[in-house]
């Protein structure tokens, strides 16, 4: 006798195949073999009671607050417990119901489909990047003198500085980088803004140089529309905005240039983000911000296949928040967008391990591996070679006997 705790659809499918189950039987039984918990927030007691009864009628369950049935509790969070097949039944049963349950049925169906989506192709202006088969690597090149990680390459825009950047970028590509991310403004906690002129001086010549010398797409890490536009004009294809597209002009620039965008969650600004950290519900708050911004971006003309989301490790988060985000990363999959995670050398690793910035490589690799297992499509790192090897090994284990 063996007891399995498989959550992967592919693993369950392989197990049935190994037993010799008929392919049609696998198709029927697979949704029944996958059990999920789905949390709904602040549902009125009428809808909650209907959902409870409908779930029970199909052999599933719904956990609601005590007092909901009697009406003593007017609103409750709900934990729906069932198989994928049962949730499909639920959607059918409530789509003709009143009290907004028809809308809930539609939303539930979309979120379930998003959760299982794994065929992401990132559309770029000059090419595309398949994010489906393996976790991709974004290599970090800091064009700053004050990077928290101590690897800033900027001193001046002399020929030697440009040559140093080109050498580093080529090595990253050789080591396995799929994207090169350039930043001219430090976003470390407490960082002060430099002038737009200075940020342009640091980034534009480098973008032009790399665009001519490497095939991998270039991402510009900036929160300024003026800098994004100049870098897109010079050959960049991705805007990595730590401010999460708060500036509407950034959305217009990205749409105009048909650029891909990384929408990151940040509480406050780099100057203030670690001073007042407060969340009602960490994952819910981050997911809601990302969802709202995705909608705004798409409404303004950014194509759905050009959007990446990043929950923003270390940006207005405490170490315990960062750990929770990585642990629960799969909960962002229902946004229906590829997920980027940036943990490299960050302070929460130092907090856990008691290490300085230059001693956080092993901790970074551990976070990358777990993030990849939990749904990350892209990891943003300083040490490309080590991350590439770690993820290659992870992928080999995951696909063993597949």
Residues involved in catalysis: 346, 380
CA proximity to 138, closest of 361, 345, 395, 344: 344
3-state secondary structure of 124: coil
For residues 160 and 110, give the distance between their C-alpha atoms in angstroms, rounded to a whole number.
52
Is residue 127 within 8 Å of residue 217, measured between CB atoms? yes
Question: Cα separation of 111 and 287, whole Å?
Answer: 12
DSSP assignment letter at 189? T
Secondary structure of residue 2 in the 3-state scheme = coil
Distance in angstroms (rounded) separating the CA atoms of residues 228 and 255: 12
CB neighbours of residue 21 within 10 Å: 16
Report phi then psi at 270, rounded to 5. Answer: -55, -30
| Pairing mode of beta strands 35-44, 61-63 | unpaired
119 by Cβ neighbours in 10 Å (0-12 / 13-18 / 19+) ranks as exposed
**Tokens encoding 384:** 């490309």
Residues near 87 by beta carbon (within 8 Å), at least 6 away in sequence = 36, 38, 60, 80, 108, 112
């Amino acid at each position: 006798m063996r007891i399995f705790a498989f959550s992967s659809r592919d693993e369950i499918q392989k197990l049935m195949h190994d037993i010799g189950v008929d392919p049609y039987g696998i198709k029927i039984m697979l949704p029944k073999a996958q059990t999920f918990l789905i949390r709904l927030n602040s549902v009125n007691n009428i809808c909650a009671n209907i959902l409870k009864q409908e779930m029970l009628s199909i052999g599933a369950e719904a956990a609601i607050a005590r007092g909901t049935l009697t009406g003593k509790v007017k609103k409750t969070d709900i934990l729906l417990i069932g198989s994928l097949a049962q949730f499909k039944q639920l959607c059918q049963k409530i789509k003709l119901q009143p009290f907004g349950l028809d809308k809930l049925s539609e939303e539930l169906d979309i979120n379930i489909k998003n959760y299982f989506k794994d065929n992401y192709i990132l559309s770029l202006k000059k090419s595309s990047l398949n994010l489906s088969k393996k976790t991709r690597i974004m290599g970090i090149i800091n064009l700053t003198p004050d990077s928290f990680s101590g690897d800033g390459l900027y001193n001046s825009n002399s020929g030697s500085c440009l040559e140093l950047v080109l050498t580093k970028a080529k090595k990253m590509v050789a080591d396995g980088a799929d994207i090169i991310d350039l930043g001219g403004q430090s976003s470390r906690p407490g960082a002060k803004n430099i002038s737009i002129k200075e940020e342009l001086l640091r980034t534009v010549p480098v973008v032009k140089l790399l665009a001519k010398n490497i095939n991998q797409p270039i991402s510009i890490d900036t929160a300024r529309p003026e800098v994004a536009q100049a870098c897109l004009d010079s050959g960049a294809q991705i805007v990595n905005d730590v401010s999460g597209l708060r500036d509407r002009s950034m959305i217009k620039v990205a749409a105009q240039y048909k650029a891909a965008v990384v929408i990151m969650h940040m509480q406050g600004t780099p100057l203030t983000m670690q001073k007042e950290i407060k969340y009602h519900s960490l994952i819910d708050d981050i997911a809601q911000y990302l969802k709202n911004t995705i909608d705004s971006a798409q409404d303004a003309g950014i194509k759905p296949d050009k959007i990446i989301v990043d929950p923003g490790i270390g940006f207005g988060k405490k170490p315990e928040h960062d750990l929770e985000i990585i642990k629960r990363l799969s909960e962002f999959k229902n946004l229906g967008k590829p997920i980027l995670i940036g943990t490299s050398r960050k302070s929460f690793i130092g907090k856990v391990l008691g290490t300085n910035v230059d001693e956080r490589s092993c901790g970074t690799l551990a976070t990358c591996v777990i993030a990849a297992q939990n749904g990350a499509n892209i990891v943003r790192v300083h040490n490309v070679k080590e991350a590439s090897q770690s993820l290659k090994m992870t992928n080999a284990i995951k696909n063993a006997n597949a």
